[in-house]
Structure 1
Amino acid sequence: MTINIQFVNLDHSDSLAEHTTERLKKMAEKYDWLINADVFFKEEGTNPEKGKICNIKLSLPGNHIFATSDEKNFEMAVKETISDLVIQLKKRKQTFMAH
């Protein structure tokens, strides 16, 4: 799986990119039919307790799946976004098994 990480109006963080890549690779081991992951990090200053946003779009056979989360730090946002994607992947895997 190819992983593209972009920081929107933020400085690039090697540690955050490495953390995200590691989490996505673990997910790709379980779901080997994933093709590509596009990750976007951005920050919104409207809410002081949140505002760290992680968007992930996965390319796979069929339609793309997408998840986003808004947390108090980027690591929590990555964790929440990936858990949302895993739920969607489990549903998608069931439809593959049905055919």
Structure 2
Amino acid sequence: MSNDNINNNVIFEYHDVTASDTLEKYTKDKLQTLFTRFDFVIRADVFFKTENTTSDDTGMKCGIRLSAPGPRLFAESSHNTFQNAVDESINELTRQLQKRKETMKSY
């Protein structure tokens, strides 16, 4: 998938967070790997929000919903930085996509 394609297929939403080109580029770079490795992924919706937490290690929340054949895939995590939250969400989605790919092969 070309880089132009990923721009059309990634939607960002911010809740109580200022939009950030740097954060979007970081997230798109990470998502590019998923789009390339799992070519059945059609679109990603990325949600950033802050939440009040008692821990300094959480509060920056990233949720990513992927559109692909079958049930929607979703992962969300909360960390001290949005980048860490993106990384964990991507790791979780990679696990889910791997399972989905194995299921799809069996048909």
Scaled by the length of structure 2, the TM-score of the pair is: 0.89
Aligned length: 99
Residues 1-99 of structure 1 mapped to structure 2, 5 A cutoff: 1=6, 2-49=9-56, 50-99=58-107
Provide the identity percentage: 37
**Paired amino acid for 2:85:** A
Unaligned runs of 5+ in 1: none
> Which consecutive unaligned segments of at least 5 residues does structure 2 have?
1-5
Q: Deviations over 1:42-86 (max 9, x none)?
A: 001223411010000000011101000011100000000000000
CA-atom RMSD in angstroms: 0.9
